[in-house]
Amino acid sequence: MRPLVFVPTFNERENVEELHRQIRELPLETDILFVDDASPDGTGELLDRLAAADPRVTVLHRPGKLGIGSAHLCGIRYAYEHGYDWLVTMDCDFTHSPADIPRLLAAAADSGLAVGSRYMLPGSLPGWSPFRRFLTLFGHFLTKHVLGLPADASGAFRAYHLPAIPPAIFEMAVSRSYAFFFESLFILARNGYRVSEIPIVLPARTYGHSKLTFREAFRSLRYLLRLAVENSVFPARFRIGRHAYATLPQLASTEWDGYWKRKPALAGLLYELAAATYRQAVIRPNLERALRQAFPPGARLLHAGCGSGQVDRNLHGEFRITAADISPEALSLYSRNNPGAHRLDHADIFALPYPDGEFDGAYNLGVVEHFPRTDIIKMLRELRRTLRPGGKVVIFWPHRRAPSVMFLRAVHVCLRQVFKSRTELHPPEVSLLAGRSYAREALEEAGFACSGYQYGFRDGFIQAVVVGQRR
């Protein structure tokens, strides 16, 4: 398949036509994806005209300026979802030359990942102001000596061989702004990926002004230092395991049923005791409150991925709840814990056996964080299919910054390093919530509007309650 060239735009009306022309003149065929963040200068309308004239151009319109890192994630997800093997990312302002794309792809063919480097040639930053030059060189010094990234880690001119990189790698990146560039490269490096570089010349912007402000530079610096601290305390946070490559059937048959059948050792028993206490003291009243706010009495609800159902006991008198799980062992536990359940089904949350519009709402707890983002979107879309128009989904989603997450990471490190134990207290959590915008993006991509978000003292800053309403 042809490579995909991804270009984010915001107020780039002067540049898009010329950039398109130069890419088309290259001695290779490419598809082009533009993602426009509602540019007020009419960039989006001009891109639509380009796409109408060129069938190999696709334009995605976003509702507003959601961040450069968020735009790149959007382009990366699009490339994976549409089966591209090669992805090139670049800016629209001609600081990245389309003529360098063939060299970049050739370098990526060797290592799977290549970046254009501003630091391999003398005089590679012509026309830059002394202040911007200082910020760039200082940023490179920090990414090199603090994060250990010798490559140009903050540039957007990159080529990826996607079959060699699991999507979960990119989903681990939290930043949605400029820090996304060095964070994603840092995560790739921590997972053993080698970065190739090609020398490039990076002139000042052809039109307009730099979008990197001093305030944004300061935020990136703060984020860089936080990455360094987190890596020194919890290095496993930046590494993926085999679960990142696993498919749902593998997870379902070998991990979920085994998880519910397991007989935990002492550490596991202590964890289960603490978790059960937290469920009853915190999650149960929060769930009851959230469902009563979202749904009227007697509503038909689907508990998708119901698990053992320890927090559902008081709800069956108020709602008609159908509990579904792929694990027969979980359903057996649910039945014992909830003898008044309306219905129990052995079902796959990615292929639910219910007709369209069957339910008024759906909810789950402790489910989404165990799947990569692409699977979360599939899950939400399947839940949306089963909801009536205007139906809601309520998700309890553990936050990445939750004290419990930090504590459990420390416990796992202690078990491995001190006691040489491979005990895992719970299934891997590959998609902890990064914040409100992260939840909103996922809901909107799946066809929901984010109608509620709560995270705070009420549950000890552990789980966010995310509510989406079917559009």
Domain with 431 in it: 248-470
Checking DSSP bridges between strand 86-89 and strand 4-9, what pairing results, if any?
A: parallel
Q: Indicate yes or no: pTM above 0.75.
A: no
Last residue of a domain, one of 174, 205, 240: 240
- At 64, which CATH number? 3.90.550.10
Last residue of a domain, one of 209, 224, 240: 240
| Cα–Cα distance, 119 to 454 (Å, whole number) | 45
How does DSSP classify residue 269?
Answer: H
SS3 329: helix
Type of residue found at 313: R
Asked if 139 and 31 sit in the same domain, the reply is: yes
| Cα–Cα distance, 121 to 199 (Å, whole number) | 6
Under 8 Å between Cβ of 90 and 5: yes
Last residue of a domain, one of 222, 240, 258: 240
Quote the number of domains for the chain: 2
Asked if 58 and 79 sit in the same domain, the reply is: yes
Asked if 144 and 293 sit in the same domain, the reply is: no
- At 356, which CATH number? 3.40.50.150
Asked if 67 and 199 sit in the same domain, the reply is: yes
Asked if 114 and 189 sit in the same domain, the reply is: yes
Asked if 104 and 155 sit in the same domain, the reply is: yes
Asked if 215 and 348 sit in the same domain, the reply is: no
| Cα–Cα distance, 204 to 404 (Å, whole number) | 46
Asked if 216 and 282 sit in the same domain, the reply is: no
Asked if 274 and 231 sit in the same domain, the reply is: no
Asked if 311 and 373 sit in the same domain, the reply is: yes
pLDDT tens, N- to C-terminus, the chain (471 residues): 689 999 999 999 999 999 999 999 999 999 999 999 999 999 999 999 999 999 999 999 998 888 899 999 999 999 999 999 999 999 999 989 999 999 999 999 988 899 999 999 888 888 888 877 888 889 999 999 999 999 999 999 999 999 999 888 898 888 888 999 999 999 999 898 999 999 999 887 544 445 566 678 888 888 899 888 888 766 767 777 533 433 333 444 445 555 556 555 555 566 567 667 877 888 999 999 999 999 999 999 999 999 889 999 999 999 999 999 988 888 888 999 998 888 999 888 998 999 999 999 999 998 998 888 888 999 999 999 999 999 999 999 999 888 777 666 666 566 566 656 655 556 677 788 988 988 998 999 899 999 999 998 887 888 999 999 998
The pair of three-digit structure tokens given for residue 41, joined into one six-digit string: 């200068």
In angstroms and rounded to an integer, the radius of gyration of the C-alpha atoms of the chain is 24
Asked if 273 and 228 sit in the same domain, the reply is: no
Checking DSSP bridges between strand 113-117 and strand 158-161, what pairing results, if any?
A: antiparallel
| Cα–Cα distance, 238 to 244 (Å, whole number) | 12
| Cα–Cα distance, 231 to 226 (Å, whole number) | 8
Asked if 294 and 380 sit in the same domain, the reply is: yes
| Cα–Cα distance, 318 to 298 (Å, whole number) | 6
